[in-house]
Amino acid sequence: MSKRISLDRILQSQGFGTRKWCSELIAAGEVEVAGVTVTDNRVAMETEGLIFKVYGETWIYREKLYIALNKPGNYECSRKASHHPGVLSIFPEQFDRRGVQPVGRLDHDTTGLLLLSDDGLFIHNQSSPRHHIPKAYEVSTHDPVTPELIAMFIAGVKLHDEPVPLAAASCRIISSHLLEVVLKQGKYHQVKRMVAAAGNHCIALRRSRIGGLGLDGLGLSEGHWCYLGARQLAQLAPD
C-alpha cells in the first residue's frame, strides 16, 4: 500500500539510521530520487515503486522485507551469534537495523534454504507448528541408504523425549548415500536424530525446499540471497 511520507522517514524505515541521521544524510546531498539530488528532508514522496540512491547505491522502497538465502555452512541463525558468524553478516547492515531475523533456524553446519523477514506476522505463520508447512531436506549419510531406513521414516521413528514416533511426510533414495526427507514437524535436530535412530549417521544436511518454494527455482548458489515477491510468497502459504 502506497503512502506519502517525508524522505527522512522513508530512509529511517529502510534502515539507514535514526531520523536525525537520515536528515543529515539528505542535507549533505547523499540522496537522489529520479536522478535528482534531494536536500530537503521534509519533502513528501509516494512510497509505492519509489527508487532512490544513497551514496550512489540504488535502493527500492520495501515496506517489509522477505528474503531467501542459500545458507552456507558455519553460520549461525541468530541475531546474537556466539561461536560462528551470524547469517545477518551476509546482508547489508540496513537489514539488521530494520529488525530482519531468520524464520526458524538451521544448525550452523546445515546449509540450504533459509527465509528471513522483518514482518512479525509472516515469521509467526511460517514458524508455527500448527500450519504444517512441509520442508524438504537432502541428507548425506555415513552408511548406504537402505529401503528399510526409508520404511522406518515413513512408519515413524521413536526419538528420546518425544511422546510418539515421528514420521516423514515422504522419503526417497536419491543415491547410495543420499536421501530426501520431507517433514511437517520442526523438532530439535529432528532429521539428524531420526537418521541416528534408524541406525545411520547424518554427515551433511541441506534444506532444499519450504512449501512449494525450492532453491532450484530460485537459482541461488550457496551464500547468495534474493528478495521474494508475491509469486514466491504464495508458494509459502500455509496449508
Domains and CATH numbers, the chain: 4-60 (3.10.290.10), 66-129+213-234 (3.30.70.580), 134-210 (3.30.70.1560)
Report pLDDT for 188: 83
Beta carbons within 8 Å of 207's beta carbon, 6+ residues apart: 71, 106, 110, 111, 112, 113, 114, 135, 136, 137, 138
Q: How far is CA 200 from CA 141, 178, 220, in A?
A: 7, 12, 30
Q: What is the pLDDT of residue 50?
A: 96
Q: What is the pLDDT of residue 238?
A: 63
Q: What pLDDT score was predicted for residue 200?
A: 95
Place of cell 530482519: 100
The segments of the chain whose pLDDT lies below 70 read 1-2, 81, 238-239
Q: Residue 201 is placed in which grid cell?
A: 549417521
Flag whether the pTM goes above 0.75: yes
Rounded to an integer, what distance in angstroms lies between the CA atom of residue 22 and that of residue 33? 14
Q: What is the mean pLDDT of the chain?
A: 93
What residues are annotated to the active site? Answer: 107
Alpha helices in the chain (DSSP H): 7-13, 19-27, 93-97, 120-127, 147-155, 190-197, 215-218, 230-234
Structure-block grid coordinates of residue 14:
529502510
Helix (H) or strand (E) holding 226: strand 225-227
